[in-house]
Amino acid sequence: GTPVYILAIETSCDETAVSIICDGTEILANVVSSQIETHQRFGGVVPEVASRKHVESITWILQEALDKAKLHPSQLSAVAVTQGPGLVGALLVGMVAAKAFACAWGLPLIGVHHIAGHIYANALVHRLEYPFLSLVVSGGHTELVYVESEGHFRIIGQTRDDAAGEAYDKVARALKLPYPGGPHIDRLALESEEALTLPRAWLEPDSYDFSFSGLKSAVLSAMNSAAMKGQTLSAGAVARGFQDSVVEVLVEKALRAVKAYGAKQLLLAGGVAANKGLRSRLEARCAEAGVPLLAPPLPLCTDNAAMIGAAAFLKFRRGQFASLDLKADPQLKL
Ligand code: KG4
Ligand code: ZN
């Protein structure tokens, strides 16, 4: 049949991103404009600044994606946009741009859940087999999601406090590393021979939930008590101890859930899926347990619009279009 070209827009946090996907798997354009430098001096994302930056960037990023894909808007099949969750002002910019574009060119609109996007980033490069289990780890989310069939998600465990990426960023901040701290901790942890001994938050024996704020506090109190004795802990030992604790809990709970739910695959998703320590331990444990492990390539782990296009393609095939009064929802449920 005729190829399906989807233009996708993602502006839920601090990346302004537009992508064009052909038939759900071929990436014709994937433009990501990061605001990290703007937010770095504040040590984190400032919502109002993020919205303003999205407004400044969205039009030329849209144009750049069309130029890269060498497509005219009239050749497109649909426009997809992240509906939520995320920062409300940031989401609104993408939503308004998507509606205006869809209206101007008479294209159907598709709303996508940000986490469905992270999960289906895997569909850009892998063949998915249902039911599967997804470990979603990002700056805003830490969830174990059981996906029984296409588009049917069930959250079986989630963080009770900080998201994994949030904990990485907070510990990085304590170590005076730049924002976002995840990649810096990852690098320090891999280079370090020593590891600070830290607790593991297993919670109740049958729970698939997570908790990272106690771990973060344990790191801070170890750093403080060293400082009181006039010592400083090596950043490497702190990073390694912290990463070992986070990774061990994530990996063991994910594998336990895969077995309990009879999942055929384990899909890693979200910005923290770029973590080398997490990937290598998951690979080793999945190989041991005979569980097929899928993960997106690194640039498709952190926020991008290609993943939104991939999830939208599935909705396109099922005819799940939105009306032009689709509302951005900062708390959107999966
Ligand atoms: O998915 P994402 O781009 O945005 C959200 O939807 O939250 O994830 C960003 C998060 C940040 O907290 C960042 O520190 C973390 O992903 N991150 C990492 C790594 N790369 C990015 N965390 C640990 N190790 C990494 N290599
Ligand atoms: Zn994300």
Query: Residue with the nearest Cα to atom 22 of ligand 1?
Result: 182
Q: Kindly state whether residue 226 falls inside one of the protein's structural domains.
A: yes
**Do 159 and 289 lie in a common domain?**
yes
Q: Is the CB of 271 under 6 A from ligand 1?
A: yes
**Do 160 and 59 lie in a common domain?**
no
Domain that residue 240 falls in = 130-295
Residue 274 to residue 277: CA distance in whole angstroms: 9
Closest-CA residue to 281 (of 257, 256, 246): 246
Query: Residue with the nearest Cα to atom 3 of ligand 1?
Result: 302
**Do 47 and 177 lie in a common domain?**
no
Residue 113: per-residue pLDDT: 98
Please report, as a single letter, which amino acid is at residue 10: E
3-class secondary-structure state, position 14: coil
**Do 167 and 279 lie in a common domain?**
yes
For ligand 2, the distance from its centroid to the CA atom of residue 224, given in whole angstroms, is 32
Residue 42: per-residue pLDDT: 79
Neighbours of 323 (CB within 10 A): 9
Q: Kindly state whether residue 326 falls inside one of the protein's structural domains.
A: no
Q: Kindly state whether residue 49 falls inside one of the protein's structural domains.
A: yes
**Do 197 and 98 lie in a common domain?**
no
**Do 140 and 160 lie in a common domain?**
yes
For ligand 1, the distance from its centroid to the CA atom of residue 270, given in whole angstroms, is 7
**Do 114 and 137 lie in a common domain?**
no
Dihedral over Cα of 170, 211, 200, 225: its sign: positive
The structure tokens listed for 202 are 């297993």
The answer on pLDDT for 45 being more than 90 is no
**Do 216 and 268 lie in a common domain?**
yes
Residue 1: per-residue pLDDT: 81
**Do 137 and 282 lie in a common domain?**
yes
Number of domains within the chain:
2
Note the ipTM here: 0.98
Closest-CA residue to 164 (of 132, 186, 140, 200): 140
DSSP string, 309-333: HHHHHHHHHTT-PBPTT----TT--
**Do 68 and 158 lie in a common domain?**
no
Residue 15 to residue 41: CA distance in whole angstroms: 16
259-307 per-position pLDDT tens digit: 999 999 999 999 999 999 999 999 999 999 999 999 999 999 999 999 9
CATH of the domain at 170: 3.30.420.40
110-148 per-position pLDDT tens digit: 999 999 999 999 999 999 999 999 999 999 999 999 999
Q: Are strands 265-269 and 293-294 parallel, antiparallel or unpaired?
A: parallel
Q: Is the CB of 181 under 6 A from ligand 1?
A: yes
Residue 296: per-residue pLDDT: 96
Helix (H) or strand (E) holding 53: helix 47-69
Q: Kindly state whether residue 270 falls inside one of the protein's structural domains.
A: yes
Asked if residue 140 belongs to a known ligand binding site, the reply is: yes
Where does 111-234 have alpha helices with state H? Answer: 114-120, 164-174, 182-191, 213-228
Q: Is the CB of 86 under 6 A from ligand 1?
A: no
Q: Kindly state whether residue 323 falls inside one of the protein's structural domains.
A: no
**Do 206 and 110 lie in a common domain?**
no
